Amino acid sequence: MNNLSTLRNFFFVFVSSLGIGCLNYIQDVNLYADGSGVMRISYWMKSSGNENSVIAEKIGLFNEDSLKSAFSSPYNTIEEIEVYADSTDSTMHSLIELTFNNIDSLNNHKSFKEYKFSLRDGATGQKVFSQFIPPIATGFGVNRSDFKIQYKYTFGGEIITHNAQEKEGRTLIWNYTLSDIGSGKTILVTFKPFKLKETPYWIYVLSGIVLLIVVIFLFRKKKD
């Protein structure tokens, strides 16, 4: 498993074949106006037995080395990868945190080649962001409504228009099942980036006064 697309698709097929039931996948992104940002990917599944846990780890779903290989690229920096089991509810978890300088460049990443990230200029002072959510295949006889997928984006600006199901301040949330995704979905957002705060006028005045005092002090000292 050397890329996320293969890993993700196999993940759903594998889990469905085991009859594990509900599965959760979350992609959480903080996106800034210059295209840089932070992406956190997490997924977890119910562990119905030690054998399933071993199989899942061996194929790379819950293996740190495999995940590091899948997410390593010149287009992002891996900040953290964590894999753990929660004995309180018998679940297995994988957490991946990445930073990137330009979300458009992730289209060149082997793990995101189907996502079609796009951040472009819109109307004056606005940005338009989009991402494609590719379809995911599963085994036959699987209840595709049991598989939960969430995309969460927080934008560095005022949200103008969007097609999300939920909005929490500057954070937009899209919740889907595999049935909802069908042949694919598109995330679409228009936002107005926050302007960098202008330096207050009094700062310049104060700086000028301080500079003048220093010059006068040095002049008098030299004269003495």
| Encoded tokens for 115 | 């996502």
Taking only the tens place, the pLDDT of each residue in 149-176 is 999 999 999 999 999 999 999 999 999 9
| Residue 24 in tokens | 């959760």
The reported pTM is 0.76
Three-state DSSP class for residue 209: helix
Q: Check whether 61 has a pLDDT greater than 90.
A: no
CA atoms of 188 and 204, how far apart (whole Å): 41
Phi, psi (deg, nearest 5) at residue 156: -85, 60
Residue 46 — φ and ψ, nearest 5°? Answer: -75, 135
- Whether the per-residue pLDDT at 86 is higher than 60: the answer is yes
